[in-house]
Structure 1
Amino acid sequence: MEAQHTPDEKIVKIEKTILRGTRPRSIGYNARKGTHGPCITDVVVRLHTDSGAWGIGPANISQEKAKGLLGSKINEIFKLPFGAFGEGIKLDLPLWDLTARILNLPLYRLLGARGKRDVQLYDASIYIDDLNLNDRQAVSLFKEEVYSGIEHGYHNFKIKVGRGSRWMEPKEGIRRDALVVRTVRETSPAGSKIMIDANMGGTLNSTLELIRLCAEYDLYWFEEPFAEDKLLNLALKSHLIDSDSKLLIADGEFHPPNYFFELVEEGLVDVVQHDFSDYGITWWRSTAAKLESWDALCAPHTWGSYIERYHHAHFAASIPNYALLEASPGKMPGIIEDGWEMKNSRLHVPNTPGAGITIEKKIFDQGLDDRSAFSLSI
């Protein structure tokens, strides 16, 4: 695609609204934290320009910071092909959507269109929901959770493990973790990708034991098995190589250390998972290029959001080294999809301008009544 000129339109209105949705069930524990509940909250910003153009996306900007950006021209805080810079980084996703809409391009094409438009999703909502159950009851519960995911269109699943780090006696916790993994694998459709996530709740020894117990279940990745440590990560990767395992190591979501990308470059971390909206498309684009040169994959963290999946899928469709998109069943009232389709655990990215979504006026305006919301204009 030929180089595009960065628009110079002035931003004359910035609105921040709060969207609230629900999940089909309350979400339980992970290895470190207690119950997560049934609610979804998305913070969304909409930008308007002096030509009447608009763009929308997740962005948690303060009213004070937004006042400082009101009246800016797009090309004063955003530059193609790189993206947002300076204070514009706080509006990264809305700026990408706005620019793509002005240029009448789907966002993935503005970003480069080097990936696949059918983006694989996984259901990340299988948490530690079984602490008061016996084995038989736990198996029944997790079968139902997989069935629920399938009913909502998901075939791939990520399972929270690490019961023995805080909630159960260590050996019993690892045994139950393995039982849940077996249940999810046996209940999932053929060919499903199954991941596990310890939220840094494990040790090297507990990680190796769980990998041993789950060896026959063809896991795709093990996420955050323990806090990053060069020697421990090296020992883990050496074990996987020696045992001829194809299991990938995913990491980067929670406070990655300053040497994190050394682990990736050295092949000790295979899948990078920094947060999608916190870091933004601008950061992720440059990072994806670096990871591609190291044969590493991108799979940004998006848990807790519903609306992020749209901008996220455009990013996924723009790069060749994308893994899976984190999502989960849920309902977010007011989202109007423009050409989107989800089928067989894949989200098909449309050719409509921008990110391909808008928000129903009534719902958007209701969200403006939240005490953390605002509407500023000149």
Structure 2
Amino acid sequence: MDMSIIQPEWKIEKIEIATLTGERARSAGSNGRIGDHGKSCSVRIARITIDGETGFGSTGLLTESMAEAVVGMRLADLFDQNGKVLEPYRIPLEYPILDWLGRRQNAPVYKLIADSNRVSPLVVPCYDTSLYFDDLHLQNDRDAVALMKEEAAQGMSKGHRNFKIKVGRGGRHMPLWEGTKRDIAIIHGIAEVAGPEGRIMIDANNAYNLNLTKEVLAAAADVNLYWIEEAFHEDDALYADLKAWLRERGQSVHIADGEGLASPHLVNWAKNGLVDVLQYDIIYPGFTHWLELGAQLDQMGLRSAPHCYGNAYGIYALGHIAAAIRNFEFVEYDDITIQGMDASAYRVENGLFHVPDKAGFGLDFDEELFAGQVLANGWSR
């Protein structure tokens, strides 16, 4: 980012924290690791005031003592000479800071971080990430497939064409082979809904092992399967085996990983050709981290697909970071409505996420509702 847009007199005047609540369009069931995710969602938001104007953004790890230390600092001192937010302030404050800068410049964040001639208008591929284990109460696979196909059809009606399917039912919630057979049947059912142009991703949340992964991939060879995500806990020997097996079969399925407590060796394994798509979270380690990592991955011809599930603010941040990463894959879209956060300027259409040419991160916040939530569940410094 061009540091010349930051005036030396701009100082942090106030930081307020509040938790805003909302819900998904449809309750989300289990995945290969944990039980029902439910319908309720929340997002922790910071409102930052600089030069009498405000910006809003998701925040994590921001303590009251850190806020006290930051208030009064020059905005310019939170950045390095290359226009990147300094490490100590990234996860706590990068989103409200970047939103504020966008609002002050009357420009979307994506135009602050990337070549605007290349990205305007900004339209990014996306996928529906809502297909969880919503079928566990059903006794037979036919009914389970019918239910999951109906959920995929709901996504189609909302503009989606690409889908990520949670798999790994046999890892915890069903007997091993019965759960695996159901995974396979549901993959085929949702592929029917998506059609030949729709891309299908599957995510096992580490519930498979190497041989189960091969069984599922072999059974889904006739599906437009784009990647398998978190098939098993990251292991370079197992990934090397899986890569060789896929090459021998001529099956072009990408290996994706990086969510959660990922191995610290994952980026190096990707550099060595064992992993194709990196998926660290857009909130932790965050936006600025992804600006740096995405540039490295682009140089190596690797793909970036930042993870975002459960944080409604992160969905929209993904659209902006896409402008700065050449090999960006998809916005992970979780249909969430947060009270007091208006995202109506964004839209999903024909499998594409349309990012508005609107100041900051393009989200409007109900100032009065936010102030009430600061008093109810937050704090101010």
User: What's the TM-score, normalizing by structure 2?
Assistant: 0.93
Give the CA deviation at 1:338. Answer: 7.6
Is the contact between residue 15 and residue 375 of structure 1 (CA under 8 Å) also seen in structure 2?
Answer: yes
Q: Does 1:124 align with 2:125?
A: no
User: Which AA in structure 1 matches 2:101?
Assistant: T
Distance 1:348 1:132 in 2: 36
The counterpart of 1:97, out of the listed 96, 99, 104, is 99
Is the contact between residue 82 and residue 282 of structure 1 (CA under 8 Å) also seen in structure 2?
Answer: no
Give the CA deviation at 1:339. Answer: 4.4
**Which stretch has the larger CA shift, 154-163 or 73-82?**
73-82
Q: Give per-residue Cα distances to partners, 1:62-111, cap 9 Å, x unaligned.
A: 22222221111111112464421143222112222222333333211111
Q: Give per-residue Cα distances to partners, 1:9-52, cap 9 Å, x unaligned.
A: 10101111211111232211111101111111111111111x22
Q: Give per-residue Cα distances to partners, 1:338-359, cap 9 Å, x unaligned.
A: 8433322322222222212220
Give the CA deviation at 1:294. Answer: 1.4
Partner of 1:84, secondary structure, is: coil
Q: Does 1:25 align with 2:42?
A: no
Distance 1:147 1:47 in 2: 40
The counterpart of 2:312, out of the listed 298, 301, 306, is 306
Q: Relative to 1, partners in 2 of residues 1:336 and 1:155: Cα closer, same or farther, differing over 3 Å?
A: same
Aligned residues: 374
Q: Relative to 1, partners in 2 of residues 1:124 and 1:370: Cα closer, same or farther, differing over 3 Å?
A: farther
User: Which AA in structure 2 matches 1:40?
Assistant: C
Question: Which residue of the partner structure matches residue 55 of structure 2?
Answer: 55
Distance 2:63 2:2 in 1: 36
User: Which AA in structure 2 matches 1:94?
Assistant: P
User: What's the TM-score, normalizing by structure 1?
Assistant: 0.93
Q: Relative to 1, partners in 2 of residues 1:246 and 1:366: Cα closer, same or farther, differing over 3 Å?
A: farther
Q: Does 1:193 align with 2:199?
A: yes
Long gaps (5+) in structure 2: none
Q: Relative to 1, partners in 2 of residues 1:246 and 1:363: Cα closer, same or farther, differing over 3 Å?
A: farther
The counterpart of 1:168, out of the listed 166, 174, 191, is 174
Give the CA deviation at 1:135. Answer: 1.3
Partner of 2:324, secondary structure, is: coil
User: Which AA in structure 1 matches 2:20?
Assistant: L
Question: Which residue of the partner structure matches residue 355 of structure 1?
Answer: 361
Question: Which residue of the partner structure matches residue 242 of structure 1?
Answer: 248
Q: Give per-residue Cα distances to partners, 1:193-219, cap 9 Å, x unaligned.
A: 110000111110111111011111111
Question: Which residue of the partner structure matches residue 375 of structure 1?
Answer: 380
Give the CA deviation at 1:124. Answer: 0.8
Give the CA deviation at 1:3. Answer: 6.4
Partner of 1:216, secondary structure, is: coil
Q: Relative to 1, partners in 2 of residues 1:244 and 1:232: Cα closer, same or farther, differing over 3 Å?
A: same
Q: Give per-residue Cα distances to partners, 1:147-176, cap 9 Å, x unaligned.
A: 221233222111110111112222211111
Question: Which residue of the partner structure matches residue 68 of structure 2?
Answer: 67
Distance 1:6 1:280 in 2: 22
Q: Does 1:87 align with 2:88?
A: yes
Distance 1:52 1:132 in 2: 54
> CA-atom RMSD, angstroms?
1.9
User: Which AA in structure 1 matches 2:175?
Assistant: E
Distance 1:14 1:152 in 2: 36
**Which stretch has the larger CA shift, 123-132 or 230-239?**
123-132
Question: Which residue of the partner structure matches residue 265 of structure 1?
Answer: 271
% identical aligned pairs: 34
